[in-house]
Chains A and B, each alone.
Chain A
Amino acid sequence: AQSVTQLDSQVPVFEEAPVELRCNYSSSVSVYLFWYVQYPNQGLQLLLKYLSGSTLVESINGFEAEFNKSQTSFHLRKPSVHISDTAEYFCAVSDRNTGGFKTIFGAGTRLFVKA
Chain B
Amino acid sequence: GNSVTQMEGPVTLSEEAFLTINCTYTATGYPSLFWYVQYPGEGLQLLLKATKADDKGSNKGFEATYRKETTSFHLEKGSVQVSDSAVYFCALISQAGTALIFGKGTTLSVSS
Same complex for A and B? Answer no
- A residues near B (Cβ < 8 Å) are none
- B residues near A (Cβ < 8 Å) are none
